[in-house]
Amino acid sequence: MAWKSRTRSLQVFDTELSADTVEWCPVSHCNRFLACGTYQLQKGKGEEDAAPSRTGRLYLFEYQREALSPPLTELQRIETPAILDLKWCHVPVSEKVILGLAAATGELQLYALADCQKGSSNLQTLSNVDLGAGQLALSLDWSTGRMDSSSDVRVVCSDSAGCVSVLSLDEGALMTLAQWKAHDFEAWISAFSYWDTQLIYSGGDDSKFKGWDLRIGPSSPTFVSKRHSMGVCSMHSNPHREHILATGSYDEKVLLWDGRNMREPFSESLLGGGVWRLKWHPTHQHLLLAACMHNDFHILHCQQAMESNKETCPVVASYILHNSLAYGADWSRLSLEEPAPLSPPATEPKECLTDSGGHLRIQYESPTASFDTSLEDDCGQYIPEGIASPSASSNAGDNVTPDDDDASSLSFLLASCSFYDHMLHLWRWDWAPV
């Protein structure tokens, strides 16, 4: 059975400052909340000024499927130091829904989501810890990726000094358990193995990918891989398949690894852009989302690679409507009940509505689109397929089918952000049999 892949933009929001990270809340009763972080380098205004400052802003949005326009509503904005990474804790801690923030000041900051069921939700400062003077906190990951409720909730962070820190969280208070020098240059990324949270992975600008076992201490890594030829800047443990880990690099490659044999990856996919972020789908074990800096956002299907151990992962969908560095991306856990229409509705055009605030209409397209991308005109009507973008004669993912072969169609909600044009995009991907 052939399947049709289509991405459609739902909303665009101007974040004003450069946007680099976006995260949907994974906690079940709070899935409708979305956080976005920004990073802006503020240059000094004179020779006597101090070094340039790095400022940022934290946004909190709420998605409402029933809303006429737009579906994503800004609830809150908080002025912060520049934000390098955001991650929600996957489970409540002491009944609190917690968001972690890696800041340019070298701090790990925690916020609690208040009143998430009362219609007046907002983020409130919970705790923070300084990882070290004169360095930037670059990434963080929670140990709770498999949604396991546990009293042992920990965070791993990496920083610009090449260090990795592991911290515990108890009743909202952070305590450093270990910190060590892991890389010669910036440690761009750190992550837990969600199946054994005593195992830590890290990647750095020294092009090295390393593993660490907290039970034997960080005096030496369990392995060091130079399989990536440039800086390692993204990684994510698969929450559905034990031992499976994905890494991405400035070398434009996504590598899949089996934790039982870290000498060589079992899959290599070239995506044509530095792979800044990787996210496994929260429920579909074979789908991997990649933010590829100079080459847009792509969704890989990794089933054949996992089963045969020597396959490239085909790209089954692409989102090409950003005009700048593709940095942040995340899957929503919200359900989209019906797929997007594949043709314009047979109704008379409605009167245009003027958007307010930071919301923009999509009014451009890519002439080199390899996947169908639906646009809307100024009135919110679908642009006919023959106008929107040329259909590809054949796609790499045409012969790929979902995990559930009996599925009539699949629809997913995603968010992504790009840097220099400071844009947050809300979009959907529909995968349906032809």
Residue 41 contacts residue 52 (beta carbons within 8 Å): yes
What backbone torsions phi and psi does residue 142 show, to the nearest 5 degrees? -100, 150
Q: What is the pTM of this model?
A: 0.87
Tokens of 387: 């106008």
Which residues form the domain of 306?
Answer: 3-42+53-345+352-433
Does residue 216 form part of some domain? Answer: yes
Residue 314 contacts residue 396 (beta carbons within 8 Å): yes
Tokens of 160: 């610009």
Does residue 48 form part of some domain? Answer: no
What backbone torsions phi and psi does residue 375 show, to the nearest 5 degrees? -120, 170
Q: How many whole angstroms separate alpha carbon 376 and alpha carbon 319? A: 15
Q: How many whole angstroms separate alpha carbon 429 and alpha carbon 367? A: 20
Q: What is the DSSP letter of 93?
A: B
Q: How many whole angstroms separate alpha carbon 74 and alpha carbon 72? A: 7
Mean pLDDT per segment of 10 residues, for the chain of length 434 residues? 89 97 97 97 68 92 82 96 98 94 97 82 96 94 91 95 95 91 98 97 98 94 98 98 98 97 96 97 97 98 89 95 97 79 36 40 34 44 34 47 69 97 97 83
Q: How far apart are the first and last CA of the chain?
A: 8
Distance of CA 261 to the CA centre of its chain: 27
In order, the DSSP letters of 112-138 are EEE-TTTT--EEEEEEEEE--TT--EE
Does residue 47 form part of some domain? Answer: no
CATH code for the domain in which residue 100 is found: 2.130.10.10
Q: What is the reported pLDDT for 399? A: 65
User: How many domains are there within the chain?
Assistant: 1
Q: What is the DSSP letter of 376?
A: B
Q: What is the reported pLDDT for 386? A: 33
Query: What's the maximum distance between 2 C-alpha atoms anywhere in the chain?
Result: 69
Does residue 270 form part of some domain? Answer: yes
Does residue 98 form part of some domain? Answer: yes
Q: What is the reported pLDDT for 119? A: 66
